[in-house]
Amino acid sequence: MPLPRHGLAPADPCPVLAHMRIVLMTLAVAAGFYVVVLAFLYFSQARIVYYPDAHVHANPGNLALPFEEVDLVSGDARIHGWFVPGDSGRPVVLFCHGNAGNIADRLEALQDIHESGLSVLIFDYAGYGKSTGPLGEEQTYSDAAAAYAWLLDRGFEPADVIIYGRSLGAAVAAHVAQDKSVRAIVLETPFTSLADVAAVHYAWAPTSLLLRIRYDAREYLQNAKAPITIIHSPDDRIIPFSLGQALYESAPEPRRFIQTSGGHNAFTPIDWDLILERRQSGS
């Protein structure tokens, strides 16, 4: 066999093998990128789940609502909240908000509750607003439990407490209700579990294996003893309507489903007198 001229290497005798090498290298790079993305999702879960805002830009006084500042202890955290009193002898709403902003972003909802004659206690989770301490799933549960205990210390009976949670706060509220007595449970734009939400938004990733933050509302509701109201809109593009329906179907009786309209962050007034009916019905 003649040597290649001028010391040059001979041409590849098999173009197919060269093409295969390119394909395999491309797949290896893609697989490496996929692993890096999965690692980012695994180690950055808190930054993906929690969107706190430290700036409390308003308070109930901006809407001429009477209120008092509340300071709670939750483990090593200091939890800040507001108590807006309602009519004497009426129940109180324990308000567990969603994963973004802080309590100042919920003034419209506080006004709606107050106009119904109900008192309301709203608080920021550790790391949100003026609350100090570490962000985390177990911490949010501890914060809500501390708020519940404050209401009892204030003189409210368990039968006076309506536990209300919106979005992520729905799972927090369900966690409180699984082992504490309340008058009613109200979950707006809820989900079955955070894993189910992740499976919708990150369908290309094995989210059930990656998630360390669970918020399994469906599991918590199984032990609830109070009437359950679930509120959700088919227009919700963040928490699919189907997950709210699935949570309703898995919830114990008595239960009620209220279908609303508008996107995930749309404000919808709640008929609190309907919530206070002892007997719940279907949708």
Hey, how many other C-beta atoms are within 10 angstroms of the C-beta on 212?
10
**Beta-sheet strand order (sheet of 68-74):** 68-74, 77-84, 119-123, 92-96, 161-166, 184-188, 228-232, 255-259
Per-residue pLDDT of the chain in tens (283 residues, 90 and over written 9): 444 444 445 555 577 677 677 766 666 655 555 555 555 566 568 788 899 999 999 999 999 999 999 999 999 999 999 999 999 999 999 999 999 999 999 999 999 999 999 999 999 999 999 999 999 999 999 999 999 999 999 999 999 999 999 999 999 999 999 999 999 999 999 999 999 998 887 775 666 667 789 999 999 999 999 999 999 999 999 999 999 999 999 999 999 999 999 999 999 999 999 999 864 444 4
Lookup result for tokens 């308003």:
58
The structure tokens listed for 200 are 């919708």
